[in-house]
Amino acid sequence: MPDAFPVEYLRHLRDEIKLLQRSGQLYPNATHVLLNDAESSKGRSARTLLLEKHGILETELAFKAIRDQSSVPFLRDFYEQQVIFKLLYQALPEWLGLTGHMIKAQHNAGQDWEQHDRGEIVLYPFPRPPVVVQPRFGQLVLFSSQQMLHRVMPAFKQRYALTTWMYHSPQQSAKDGRNVFYQSMDNAMNRASCEESAPLRSMVTKVLRSPFRRHLLKIIYEKEWAQSLQESHLHTEAFGQYMAMHKAESQVIETAITQMLGRFRAKDGGKNSKLPQTKKELMRWMEDVDNRKFVQNLQLPWF
């Protein structure tokens, strides 16, 4: 969403972030990873890995000590007046519940961005192609942070951003409204489906609309995922431990994909089934020209 706020207002926000930076009130951003390892299974306290990121400093406006300073009135107003959320809440359908399904809002406040500065946000709304979002001044980016893989490319110029997450408690009738909304999409897709490919399309639809889709994504974009981790974190001992876990997790997911496809084939005639046996066969089918339109038009329940 370009030009989400007036330019002068954005400059005030950026200048106040700079002030916090100069006064040493920003701290290194880090990923916190809770380990579910053998020590934890023996009843000992779970360990947390702290993975510090390259050159990213942050603070939280939830801290009163930060926002109550007289030198940051625009940041305080941004937080207390819910500048982004008030209007967005009005646009949300009543059935939408975001408990555990966060919308991430990132507002870029850095000026004079050029192509060689990099720092783009890359979204992976699979089965649609990746989307590269340039960090233009005043641009507001909204996406489902739990349902969509995303990364930030390495930046070669200092940039400023306000990032926040939106939750929304659903009404009691939310589940029914959600089902009606997505059922209408199902009916349209079913009418367009041909008989010969129906079993395979049905399987693909079930997989991509299930929680397993997020695991499948990690393998489809395995190289990008690993590269993003390598580029964004300091290579500490803790990071080495995490990457070993990452490799093991990828192997577990690969095995789970093969087992899942085997179960679908067993229900579809076993050895006589034409359903894919491996991840490569599944991806080859989805990338085929005749099937790509169906896959990319598949409506997914993002929320």
Instruction: Please check whether residue 132 lies inside any domain of the structure.
Output: yes
Band (34; pLDDT cuts 50, 70, 90): confident
Residue 19 belongs to some domain of the structure = yes
More confident residue, 32 or 186: 32
Question: 102 — phi, psi (to 5°)?
Answer: -70, 145
Q: In this structure, what are the phi and psi dihedrals at residue 15, rounded to the nearest 5 degrees?
A: -65, -35
8 A C-beta contact, residue 72 and residue 19: yes
189 and 128 within one domain: no
- What is the pLDDT confidence band of residue 171, given thresholds at 50, 70 and 90? low
Lowest mean per-residue pLDDT among 61-65, 172-176, 257-261: 172-176
Whether the per-residue pLDDT at 88 is higher than 60: the answer is yes
pLDDT reading at 209 higher than 80: yes
- Looking at the fold, whether 50 and 123 belong to one and the same domain comes out as yes
Q: Are residues 41 and 156 in the same domain?
A: yes
Cα atoms in the Cβ-side hemisphere of radius 13 Å centred on 13:
25
Distance CA 261, CA 244 (A): 26
The answer on 147 and 180 residing in a single domain is: no
Q: Which residues pair with 155 in a beta bridge?
A: 118
pLDDT at position 128, please? Answer: 87
Query: Between 170 and 26, where is the model more confident?
Result: 26
Same domain, 103 and 218: no
Answer yes or no: is pLDDT of 85 > 80: no
Question: Are 156 and 18 found together in one domain?
Answer: yes
Asked if 86 and 78 touch (Cβ cutoff 8 Å), the reply is: no
CA distances from 151 to 55, 69, 76 (A): 15, 32, 28
Confidence at residue 39, expressed as pLDDT on a 0 to 100 scale: 46
Domain presence at residue 21:
yes
Share of the chain above pLDDT 70, in %: 83
Choice between 252 and 209, residue whose per-residue pLDDT is larger: 252
Output the pTM of the full model. Answer: 0.83
| pLDDT recorded at residue 4 | 87
The mean pLDDT value for 207-220 works out to 89
Per-residue model confidence (pLDDT) at position 179: 65
The mean per-residue pLDDT over the stretch 34-58 comes to: 74
> What does the pLDDT read at residue 48?
86
Using the predicted structure, report yes or no on whether residue 188 has a pLDDT greater than 80: no
Reply yes or no on whether the pLDDT at 56 is more than 50: yes
| Residue 105, pLDDT above cutoff 70 | yes
Report pLDDT for 120. Answer: 92
Structural domain ending residue among the three candidates 142, 166, 190: 166
pLDDT bracket for residue 44 (50, 70, 90): low
Domain that holds residue 190: 174-297
pLDDT digit string (tens) for 220-239?
999 999 999 999 999 999 99
Residue 148: pLDDT band with limits 50, 70, 90: confident
If asked whether residues 65 and 24 sit together in one domain, one would say yes
* Residues 300, 185: Cα–Cα separation, whole Å: 9
Q: pLDDT-derived band of residue 97, with 50, 70 and 90 as boundaries?
A: low
Label residue 114 by pLDDT band (50, 70, 90).
confident
Residue 142's pLDDT is: 87
Co-location of 22 and 71 in the same domain = yes
Average pLDDT over residues 108-136: 88
| Over residues 42-47, mean pLDDT | 62
* Cβ proximity of 74 and 81 under 8 Å: no
> Average model confidence (pLDDT) for the chain?
84
pLDDT reported for residue 243: 94
DSSP calls for the chain: --S-S-HHHHHHHHHHHHHHHHTT--EEEEEEEE---HHHHTTPPPPEEEEEEEEEEE--TT-HHHHTSTT-HHHHHHHHTTTTHHHHHHHS-TT---TT-PEEEEEE---S--GGGB--EEEE-TTSPPEEE---TT-EEEEETTTSEEEE--BSS---EEEEEE--PPPTTHHHHHHHHHHHHHHHHHHH--TTTHHHHHHHHHHHTSTHHHHHHHHHTHHHHHHHHHHHB---HHHHHHHHHHHHHHHHHHHHHHHHHHHHHHTTTGGG--S-SSHHHHHHHHHSHHHHHHHHH------
CATH number at residue 76: 2.60.120.620
Q: How many domains would you assign to the chain?
A: 2
Does residue 64 carry a pLDDT above 80?
A: yes
Closest CA to 253 of 290, 293, 225: 225
